[in-house]
Structure 1
Amino acid sequence: MASRRAVLRGGLALSALAAAGGRAVAKPATPISFIGWQFQPQIVEENVAIFSKLYDENVSYELVSGDYHPIVETKLIGGQKIDMMYAEEDRVARWHAAGWTRDLEGLPDVATIKEGIFPVCLDSLSLPDGRFAAMPYYAGHLAFVFNEETLATQKIDVPTSFAALLDACRKLKKDGVSDAPFNGAWGQKWPELSWTLFGAWYSEGARVFDAEGTFVDEPALRTVLETFRTLYAEGLVAPDIMTQPNEGVPAFCSGRHTFQFMHDYNQKVANDPALSKIAGKVSNALMPGATQSTFAWTAVYLMGANVDAGRVWNMLRFFGGKSSDGQYHVIKRWALEFGLGSAYREIMTDPEVVASFEQWRNLDVSSAQLEKATARKIAKTIWFPEWDLYMMQQTQDYIRGTGETDALVGLLSAKAAELKAQYQ
C-alpha cells in the first residue's frame, strides 16, 4: 500500500487544459499512456488498435501484472505520467485527492453521458462532492447462485436468510450430497473477501459505515461475520477457500458445491459447457438476508492530471462509452463475450445483449437485485483502501477461529477511527 503521506501530498497540480474533442489531424508523435490490469490484455490491445486507427492516434499500452492498485500507486508516487488508467471505485476519490487524476466536468457531452447511466453506477463514477470523475469500464454486483438440480433433487428451498443458508448447507453435508456445500471468494485481493462481505452485509441490512464515515457496530453486521465463521468451523466450505484461485469460480464449476456468492458476470462461466461441469444447472436468486440488497460496483477509466484532455477524452469515450462513429465498440464486446454488465441503460436493454445474457442467468432476478443494490459510498474516502485491506486480514483470522466477535468489531472500529484521524 502506498504511504498515506504520498497520497496526501499528491503529484503535480491539475493543469487547465482545453477540452476540445474531435478527430486528430495527424497521428501525434507523443503517445497517450494507458495502463491496465490483467483481464484479456490481448483484446485490450485490439481495442487500442481500433481506437488508434479510428482517431489517427498514438497509444502506449502497459499491462500491470500482480496486485494492480498498489503497483499503480507506486508508479504514480514515483512520478510516472499516466494519461488513462483502470481503477476500482475505491480509488476514484483517493487518486483525485493525490492530484494524480482529474475530474471530467466540462468536457464535451458529459451531461448527456451521465443521463444515460444508472444512478447506482453514477455513485461509483463521482467524487464525494458529486463531480463526474470517471468513465465506466463495466458494472457488476455480488450475486447469489445455486445448483438448481441439487436443490430440486434434495427438495430444498432456495435460502432467503443466512439461517436458512446454514441449515441447507448442514443438510447437504449430513446427507452426503456435498462435503463443502458453500463456496465463495474469501481471499485477500480487493475483489474477493471485501466484495463478498459488503454484499452480505448490505443484504442483511448492515450499514457498515454511517454518513460521517464512522464504523457502525450493529446486529446485522455481526450476523454476517458469525455466519461466515460458522460455515468455516462446521466444514461447510472447503478448507482452502481463502486461497482458491480466480475467486473460487473454477471450484464451483467442478460441481462440488451447491451455493456461492460470486460476481454476477461469472454466471456465464458457470453455465458454459466448455468450462463448467454443471453448465445449465446454475441459477441466480436474490441474496439471502433481511433486506436482500447487495453490493453493486462500477469499475472505471480515469483521466490523469496534466494531460492533453482533448486526446485523452476521445480515448475515455471510446473505451468507456460511444466512439465518434456512435458505436459502443468496447463495452458491447465485453458484454457479449464475457457477460460484463454495463452502467449504460442503452447497453443493458440492447436486444443482442439481452438475448445473450438470458442464456446464462435469470435477467428478471438480476434486475430485481440491482433495484435493491447498494453502492459503497464509504469508498469515496481516501483512507478506505487501507481499512479494507486491514479488514480482510483481520476477518480471515477471525473466520479461522482467532478471537471473538466483540474483539474483531472493536479492531475494525478502532482502525477506521485511526485512519480518519491520520488523513485529516
Structure 2
Amino acid sequence: MRKLVISRRESLKLLGGLGAALAVPSGLAFAKTGASLKAESGEGVFFKGWQFRTDLVEANVSRYNSELAGKVQYQTVAGDYPSVMQNYLISGAEVDVLYGNPSQAVRYLEAGWLAPADDLPDFQEVASDMYPNIKDAWSYKDKLMGLSYFVSNRGIIHTNMKRFLDSGLTEADFPKNWPELYDVLYKLRDRGQKEPFLPHWFNEWFGIGWGFAFEVMNRGGAVADPQTHKPMLTDTGPAAETLEAWKRLWKDGFVSEEVLTYNEAAYTGAFRSGRFVMSPQQHYDLKLFNTPGNSPAAGSISFLPYQGQSWGMIDSAMYLMSSRKRPTPATDDVRRFLSWYGYKDQDGAYFVAEKFMKETMLFSAYKGVMEKPETAETIRASLAREGDAERLLEVYKHADYPKGIFNVVWSEEYNAWVKEKLSAFLLNDLEVVKTIHEMNDKMAALNDKYGIH
C-alpha cells in the first residue's frame, strides 16, 4: 500500500538545521523584536491548558505578569481535555488562550471558536520561522491555527538497555520493524524478562487509538486519506497485521488488563519504574527517564534506531487564541500575551520555548530554537548513549503524520470512539476484519455527517 504521509523532502527539512548544530556551532544572533508586548487594557487574560509541567507554566505566566503588567490567569483543565475545552468554548466561558493539538484546533476553527494566528502583528515573522512541514500540519483552509507549543515523536520505542543486554541480546538484535519487534518480545520473555513490553494501549483520547494509527503507518499503511479523509483500512495488510499482532500479544499474556485503564501519568510511570524492557513513548520522556532520581533505570534508556521503517508519529500542540467577544483593547492584550508566550519575549528571546527545551526536551516548530547550539547540547545531555542524539534525529526525520485523521473536523469524535472500540477488541476478543470494517464505517459516517466527500 502506498504510504500517505508528509513528503520525505519536507520531513528532512524539519531538523536539518539541528543536525548541523550538532556538528558545528551556529553564529545566529537574535535581535529584539521592537514590538510592545506590555499589557495595556487592565483586563484579565484567561489561559487554560492540560496537565504537563504546570510549575513551568505558572512561572512563565508570573514573569509576564510581573514584567509586563499582565493580568493573565492560568488554569489546568482536568479530565478529558478535548470534551471539557469544547464545552467551555460552546458556553462562551472565559477562555482566551488555550492548548490544542491539530485535531482539536481544526474542530474549534471550523466552529468559529478560534482566531487564527494570521491576525497576530508578528505573523509573517512567526510563519517564516516555522519549519514548512509543521506549518502545513498546523494550517487549515490556508490559516495558521496557532503558535508553537511543542513538536514530538510519539511512539519511539524506548528500550531499557540494561534489561535488554542482560537478556543476552545485543544491539545487533534490535528489531528493524514491528514484526521483528514482536518476535524479540518472545525472546526476551523466554530469557527471563517478565514484562518485555508496555504497549501504547492506555485509556486516553491519545492512547490506544493513536497507538493503532502510528503502527499502521509505520507498517506502510494509512488510516484515512490525508486530503479526502476517506477511510483506507483494509482486511489484509498493515491494519489487519497490527490487530492480529495485538490479539496474539494479548492472548499470550504479555499485557495486563490494568494497562487499558491507565491514564498517561500511570503509563509513563509504569515504564519509569524500570520493570519493562521496551515501550512506545514520547521522545522527550527520554530526558525524564534518564534523569537520576526519576527512575531506577536512569542512564539506561535508549531507543530503537531507524533501520528502514519509521517508528511512531509526529505529535504536536499549539497555543491557540479564542474568538470570544472582548473589548478591542482586551483582545489586543490577548494577542500580546500569545505572542510573548508562543513566540518571543520583550527581549526578542524564545523564552518559553527554550525553557521547555532545557527542562523537558520539548522540540519546537521554530528554526530559531531548534538550530541553536544550546539545543543540541540539551539533547545530547538528555540521552543515554554516545551517538543517541544523531540517532534520535534520524528516527524523527522519518516520523509519519496522520493528517487524514488529525486535520479534519471529526477527529475528536473518532478519537473518542476508536479508543473504546480498540479496548473492546482486546477485552471481548472481537474479530479483526469486523473491527476494521467498523472503523471504516465510522469514518465514512463522520464524513457524511460533515459533508466531506
Find out whether 1:195 has 2:222 as its counterpart. Answer: no
Distance in structure 2 (CA, Å) of the matches to 1:370 and 1:252: 21
Instruction: Check the 8 A contact 2:159/2:277 in 1, yes or no.
Output: yes
Q: For residues 68-89 of structure 1, what are the alpha-carbon distances to aligned partners after superposition, in whole Å with 9 as ceiling and x for unaligned?
A: 2211111111121421111122
Amino acid across the alignment from 2:231 = F
Residue 27 of structure 1: how far off its partner (Å): 4.6
Amino acid across the alignment from 1:140 = S
Could you list the runs of 5+ residues in structure 1 that have no partner in the other structure?
1-19
Residue 229 of structure 1: how far off its partner (Å): 2.1
1:63-74 equivalences in 2 (<5 Å): 63-74=76-87
Distance in structure 2 (CA, Å) of the matches to 1:62 and 1:239: 33
Return 225-234 or 138-147, whichever deviates more: 225-234
Structure 1 counterpart of 2:345, from 323, 333, 347: 323
Q: For residues 189-213 of structure 1, what are the alpha-carbon distances to aligned partners after superposition, in whole Å with 9 as ceiling and x for unaligned?
A: 1232233222222211111101311
How many pairs are equivalent? Answer: 401
Structure 1 counterpart of 2:315, from 297, 321, 343: 297
Distance 1:166 1:395, change over 3 A: same
- 3-state SS, counterpart of residue 321 of structure 2: strand
Find out whether 1:377 has 2:395 as its counterpart. Answer: no
Residue 130 of structure 1: how far off its partner (Å): 2.6
Tell me the equivalent position of 1:46: 59
Distance in structure 1 (CA, Å) of the matches to 2:46 and 2:93: 10
Tell me the equivalent position of 2:246: 228
What's the TM-score, normalizing by structure 2?
Answer: 0.83
Distance 1:163 1:376, change over 3 A: closer
Tell me the equivalent position of 2:21: none
Find out whether 1:392 has 2:419 as its counterpart. Answer: yes
Instruction: Check the 8 A contact 1:185/1:242 in 2, yes or no.
Output: no
Tell me the equivalent position of 2:183: 167
Distance 1:247 1:87, change over 3 A: farther
Instruction: Check the 8 A contact 1:205/1:293 in 2, yes or no.
Output: no
Distance 1:237 1:243, change over 3 A: same
Residue 334 of structure 1: how far off its partner (Å): 1.0
Tell me the equivalent position of 1:5: none
CA RMSD of aligned residues (A): 2.1
Distance in structure 2 (CA, Å) of the matches to 1:185 and 1:293: 13
Instruction: Check the 8 A contact 1:84/1:303 in 2, yes or no.
Output: yes
Instruction: Check the 8 A contact 1:147/1:281 in 2, yes or no.
Output: yes
Distance in structure 1 (CA, Å) of the matches to 2:381 and 2:395: 18
Residue 293 of structure 1: how far off its partner (Å): 5.0
Structure 1 counterpart of 2:365, from 343, 364, 367: 343
Distance in structure 2 (CA, Å) of the matches to 1:287 and 1:215: 28
Q: For residues 68-118 of structure 1, what are the alpha-carbon distances to aligned partners after superposition, in whole Å with 9 as ceiling and x for unaligned?
A: 221111111112142111112211110011111111214323222122222
- 3-state SS, counterpart of residue 320 of structure 2: strand
- After TM superposition, the runs of 4+ consecutive aligned structure 1 residues lying more than 6 A away are none
Tell me the equivalent position of 2:231: 215
What is the percentage of aligned positions where both structures have the same residue?
24
Distance 1:274 1:260, change over 3 A: same
Tell me the equivalent position of 2:169: 155
Distance 1:23 1:251, change over 3 A: closer
What's the TM-score, normalizing by structure 1?
Answer: 0.89
Find out whether 1:179 has 2:194 as its counterpart. Answer: yes
Return 242-251 or 83-92, whichever deviates more: 242-251
Instruction: Check the 8 A contact 1:303/1:316 in 2, yes or no.
Output: yes
- 3-state SS, counterpart of residue 73 of structure 2: strand
Amino acid across the alignment from 2:414 = W
Instruction: Check the 8 A contact 1:123/1:375 in 2, yes or no.
Output: no
Tell me the equivalent position of 2:277: 258
Tell me the equivalent position of 2:25: none
Distance in structure 2 (CA, Å) of the matches to 1:116 and 1:392: 35
Residue 418 of structure 1: how far off its partner (Å): 1.1
Tell me the equivalent position of 1:30: 43
Find out whether 1:138 has 2:150 as its counterpart. Answer: yes
Instruction: Check the 8 A contact 2:41/2:333 in 1, yes or no.
Output: no
Instruction: Check the 8 A contact 2:153/2:282 in 1, yes or no.
Output: yes
Instruction: Check the 8 A contact 1:121/1:297 in 2, yes or no.
Output: no
Residue 409 of structure 1: how far off its partner (Å): 0.4
Distance in structure 2 (CA, Å) of the matches to 1:59 and 1:326: 20
Instruction: Check the 8 A contact 1:137/1:319 in 2, yes or no.
Output: no
Residue 309 of structure 1: how far off its partner (Å): 4.1
- 3-state SS, counterpart of residue 382 of structure 2: coil
Distance 1:42 1:256, change over 3 A: closer
Instruction: Check the 8 A contact 1:287/1:294 in 2, yes or no.
Output: no
Return 63-72 or 353-362, whichever deviates more: 353-362
Distance in structure 1 (CA, Å) of the matches to 2:258 and 2:306: 24
Distance in structure 2 (CA, Å) of the matches to 1:76 and 1:266: 31
Tell me the equivalent position of 1:12: none
- 3-state SS, counterpart of residue 144 of structure 2: coil
Distance in structure 1 (CA, Å) of the matches to 2:37 and 2:412: 38
Distance 1:239 1:179, change over 3 A: farther
Q: Which has the higher contact order (CA 8 A, sep 6+)?
A: 2
Residue 420 of structure 1: how far off its partner (Å): 1.4
Amino acid across the alignment from 1:215 = P
Return 255-264 or 53-62, whichever deviates more: 53-62
Q: For residues 273-331 of structure 1, what are the alpha-carbon distances to aligned partners after superposition, in whole Å with 9 as ceiling and x for unaligned?
A: 2011111111122368x732531022111111145443222211222111121111111
Instruction: Check the 8 A contact 1:21/1:310 in 2, yes or no.
Output: no
- 3-state SS, counterpart of residue 375 of structure 1: coil
- 3-state SS, counterpart of residue 374 of structure 2: helix
Residue 369 of structure 1: how far off its partner (Å): 1.8
Residue 57 of structure 1: how far off its partner (Å): 2.1
Find out whether 1:278 has 2:304 as its counterpart. Answer: no
